[in-house]
Every structure is written in C-alpha cells, then in structure tokens.
Amino acid sequence: MKLLGDPIFSKGADGQLKSRSGSIFISGEYPGLVTVPGTHAMQRQTWIGEVNRTRAEDGKPALTSIEIGKLLESSVDLVFFENVVLIRPDPNRMDLAFQADEELQKFVSKRKIRFLNTHAKRVRDALRARGENWRMARDVKTREEADRQIVSGRCAMDNEPLYYYNGHTGTRYLTVGTYEMVKRLPEAAFRAQIDEIVHGLNSRNRLGMPLIDLFPASLNPEVRKMFCELNVKSLSDVQLRDAVSKIEQSWRMEMPPELRDENPQSNLVWKAEMGEVLSRKAFVSDVGDRDLIQGISPEFYRNIQWLPGCRVDNGKLIFDPIYDEYNRTQDPELAEICDLRVRSIIFNLLRLFGSVEYVNVGRIPRSLVRTPVAEDHRSGVYIVQYKEQGEPISRVFILRFQKWGIAEHLDEGKDMLSAIIEADTYSDYIMDRRLACRQLGMNLPKHVGFGQFTEKYTGKNQYHGTTIRAYYYVRQYVHGIASDKVLPERFHNPAFAHRFAELMGAAAALDLVVGRRTTETNEPIFDKNYEVLQIDPKGLPVRLIVTDHAGSFVDYETPLVNAVAPYANVVRRREKFVIDFAEFAKTYVSAFEHRLKEVQDAYRERKSAFDDLFMGRPYDRAGSFAYRWTCVLRRLDACDPRAVAEALKKAIQS
C-alpha cells in the first residue's frame, strides 16, 4: 500500500501531529493511504491526481469519471489523535471499513484503532458479530472513580455552581434537581442565571459541543427547545419566573422515573447514567454496556471490561490477531487485555456448540455488591454474550471460576496431588450445596453448567510452569433488579411495597434455613446483590430468583431463633420509603413465617427424601457437607416457625 504524506502519528517541531485526518483506499489496483494535511475531500482529490500521474508514467490514459467513482467508493475516512486512529465507517459498507481496519493494522497496533459512528446500530452489530465489543466499550471505572467524577464534576460558569462538567467535551450538564437552586435566587441573580443557561444551550465550544446541555441525554428535545427559545430580556421578572416554571414542570414530567432521585448513593441508575454522560469523549467511538447487551442491569454499567476474543467466519474459529501481537511483543499494556482464559472459554464454547455465530467475553473485575463485606480477588467472574446461527437474539451467561481451585491450593504450599483432590472435593461441595438449596425450595437459576480447561500455573509453588486445570461454573444471566438496588421511590407504591415484602420474606426464610453467611466474616449476605426481582409490565415484582447460592451452609449450627435478627434489616432500611411501615413489616414477617413452616412441613412429610439425599457423601463432624446437611435438617425440624417469626418481629421493632 502506497503512503502519500507522513506516517501516522508523525509530529512536527511544535510537538503536534502533522495531520489530523487521513483517507485510505481499498482498491485492488490502486491501494493507498493519504495523510497529507487537509480535508478528506482534498485528500481524495490528491489521490486521484497521484493515480493519474502513475498511469501517465505507465503510458495509460487518465481515469474516466466511472473509474474515479469506483476509486472514491473504495475510500474510508480516518481521524488521527495522539495515540488512536478512528475509522469513520459507512454503516452500509462495514465490509469496506473492516478491510481498512486490517490494512491499518500493518502500520498501527490494533488496540490503537477504533471506530466512529458506533451510535449506529449497524456499526455496533457488525463489530459485535466479529467478537469486538472490546473495541467500542467504555473503560471500566471503580466505585471510587465514579463517585469522584460526579463530585468533582460540579462547577459554575459565571454564576451558581449548578452544572456537572464533562472535561472531555467541555459540556456542562444541568439536572432538574440542581435547578432547584435557581428558584431560590433573588430576582437579579435568577435572571442572570437563566440568561446564562439559555445562552449556553444555544452556544457551541471549539469542539462543536454544546456549552450547556440538559440531563439526561434522552430527554425530550422539546424541553430543550423551550429553554432555547426563552427571550429573557423581553420578559418581566414575574413573566420570566412563570415561563421557567412551565419549562421545569415539562422537564419533570418527561424525566424517566428511575432518574428522579438524584442521590448517587441510593440511586445507582442515576449514578450510572450521569457517569455515562460525564465520561463521553468528543469524536470517540465508545458506547455503554446497555448498548452492547440489551436489557443489562445498570449495576453492570462501566463494570464490564470487554476483552479480545475471536470471530467466527463460516463456522471457522479465528482468534483475534492482537494475541499474536502480544506473544510477539510481550507488551505490558496488551497483557491487561489479552486474557488467555478468554481464549480457553471461547475454545470450550465452540467445542460444545458448533453453530455459534459470534462470541464476546467481558471480565467483571470486582464485586457488584453495593456494600461488599469482603472483596475476593481470587475468583474470576466473566460475562459471555454469544449468538447461535438462526437464533433471533444473543444469549448472555455469567461465568464464575471456582474460588478454591488447584492453583489456590498450590499457592497455600500444598503438593500437587493434595491440591487436585481438595479442588475436586470443593467442586462437589459447590454442586451439592446447589442441590440442597433446590431440595429445600430455593428459587435458583434452572440450569448451571460446569466447565474446565488447562492452563499454566504461575504461582510461587515449586510447580510453577506446570499445566493444571481451572474449573468454572456457567449460568444464564438473570434479568431483573437486585433487591438492594431497587429505587427508594418504588416503595412509595403500596402495591410494590406489599409484593416486595412478600417475596423477600419468603426468600429470607429459606436463606435463614441454609445459613448463608460470608466465609471470612460470618456476616449475613441476604439482600446484598444475589436476590433478583423480576418485574411485570405494571411495574410490580412477580418473582424472586437467587442468582447464586454462595455462602450457603456456612452457619449450620446456630438455632434459627438466635440467627434471625439480621433479617430485620430488610424492612428497617426501607422504613422511610414506605407509606405504611407497620403493614410493610407485618407482610414481611407473615410471608417469612408461612414459608418457614412450609419448608418444615415438606421435610416432615418426606423425611427420607431429605435425610438420604447425601447418604453416599463422606460424613465428617469436622464439617463435611453431608454432616452440615444433617445439622441443617435437624435444626429445621426442631424450630418453632412462630417463635422464629416473633423473634424477627421483635428485631424489627427494637
């Protein structure tokens, strides 16, 4: 491919890029890259002139108008920044954009090539189909970074500090909540502030972005238009306040219910949406996780690190060539995204399902629990999006690696045989607990898969470099709202509060029976991320699914009446949100007692079905699962559901 101009990322004496734009021509006869400074139109004309000059040297006539048209149709626009090349694709010619991408990779590392126009569904779908969510996803942010971005984003222009500032685009965002400050201003300050807002909404900065915009980005444009058309100078003080009041009312009516509470600590949806707005960059192609996976819960926003994987071409598996670049260069930056476990996950998937159309794998680098009691950095959690040929939509799965695998036991200094035996025993322990929870009636995901693959052990044990097995579990992603992330305003609806109390009360009873606690601190984990509520079209909870039985059978000895007090927090922490707290608590306790008695009756009616379930498993009073199961059943049989419910009631009232 012929280069006309300076190499990409070339800088002048002033340290600035010599060219901010480029045009690449994917022509069979005249392929070329033009980086001569100028507009894309000028670059196209320059290339036509160069082709005609070459043809003249070869004794050929100049290109005809038809040939020029075909040559121009093979061109793709490029935009250059300090360390990234942006391809501006035609959504209807993604094949051409991908050819340009492959040619550019001969000059530039693939990790530095991204795509514009990802707002277009065709562009996103085409990248997704190549297993390249990682090339358009926004960067992961920690909780602390997200909080800091919002807090530090508060700023003023010439008047009050009303706005949330996006430093990438230079746009200041006004929310209907922060607008409350404006209404309390005296007349002169009120007028000056409104004049500033109107001016900012009608103005653009040097990047072509609005100086001021209204939050959220999805707001009905009519609200923005009403603000923009305000003639502040022509209105009296009374008229101006009346006009702005009408705009505010329209603004509030158009706000999605989930964004009305502007407290980032209690409303994770608002926090996620504001984080998306403040992290957008001008002319950059990143998109949010909700654009990559339809219906994903807001708790996942900015919490998925999408990774290079593969594309499937006519049933043939082609791993992303960026892995070859990493193997060749051992670049530390590439080591962050070239996750060898992703390759193994995909390899297993393709071995099991031969009709896969595309696969995308992302890593969830931290717990999504609102207030994690203990972060666990040993177990890896991944999200897998894949689509089979002929199916209308993709499927989404959560994949979790076994917390105590062979590698973890080797890290403790154990020999290889002991590490293998203990890892296998723990695998049985995990699946036995799942069976036990289902036997007692816990509503877990219907299907869980078990997988394994080989990898190199890289710990400090003497077995460093040895090939070992890694174990993981796969379940389907459960759509819904985690109980601890339900918006407070939903509880203002008595019907929602009543149904929530019923479902959570029943689930709490089962949670208590199986003794769910954290292994490290023995703290309860109920209502801390694992209980997902599914909502009907009327906005009411219809079922509750416990997405993971983690922590079950940790506490298998404490009498239930002595262990029930922490479950009072489920209703107590929502006391200020419900209209009738007494009725809310009564419903919760009643559902709890009814479910506890139901489980106890089921056990007493078919004792052998429960007592003999793990008869073939090792029975050890030191804590084997068969022993724990026996203890849990004995404790269940001995309890008085009414007395346990009464203890729960007293804990709520205390």
Residue 302 has pLDDT above 80, yes or no: no
CA distance 453 to 121: 35
CA-based Rg of the chain, rounded to a whole angstrom?
30
- pLDDT band, residue 283 (cuts 50/70/90): low
Q: How far is CA 347 from CA 146, 305, 353, 405, 451, in A?
A: 34, 20, 10, 20, 11
Residues 6+ apart with CB under 8 A from 120: 91
Residue 217 has pLDDT above 90, yes or no: no
What tens digit of pLDDT does each residue of 521-531 get? Answer: 889 999 998 99
Cross-sheet strand order for the sheet of 531-535: 481-482, 531-535, 541-546
Residue 376 has pLDDT above 60, yes or no: no
Residue 382 has pLDDT above 50, yes or no: yes
Report DSSP letters for 242-277, one per residue. HHHHHHHHHHHHHS-GGGS---TTT-HHHHHHHHHH
What tens digit of pLDDT does each residue of 154-191 get? Answer: 788 888 888 998 887 889 999 988 878 888 899 999 99
pLDDT for residue 142? 66
Q: What average pLDDT score do residues 325-349 get?
A: 92
% of the chain beyond a pLDDT of 70: 96
pLDDT for residue 374? 42
Residue 284 has pLDDT above 70, yes or no: no
What tens digit of pLDDT does each residue of 483-522 get? Answer: 998 988 899 999 999 999 999 999 999 999 999 999 888 8
Q: Are residues 410 and 463 in contact, defined by beta-carbon separation less than 8 angstroms? A: yes
- pLDDT band, residue 377 (cuts 50/70/90): very low
Residue 378 has pLDDT above 60, yes or no: no
CA distance 339 to 401: 14
Which is it for the CA torsion 648, 650, 651, 653, positive or negative? positive
CA distance 532 to 471: 25
Mark out the alpha helices in 280-331 (DSSP H runs).
289-292, 322-329
Element (H, E) at 611: helix 607-611
Domain extent listing, the chain:
2-117, 143-279, 289-476, 481-653
- pLDDT band, residue 367 (cuts 50/70/90): low
Cα–Cα nearest to 616, from 607, 606, 626, 608: 626
Mark out the alpha helices in 457-564 (DSSP H runs).
494-513, 560-563
CATH for 481-653 (3.30.70, 1.10.1070, 3.30.1360, 3.40.50): 1.10.1070
Residue 582 has pLDDT above 80, yes or no: yes
CA distance 520 to 526: 15
pLDDT for residue 282? 64
Mark out the alpha helices in 229-376 (DSSP H runs).
237-254, 268-279, 289-292, 322-329, 332-337, 340-352
- pLDDT band, residue 375 (cuts 50/70/90): very low
Do you find a cis peptide bond into 216, omega within 30 degrees of 0?
yes
Element (H, E) at 101: helix 94-104
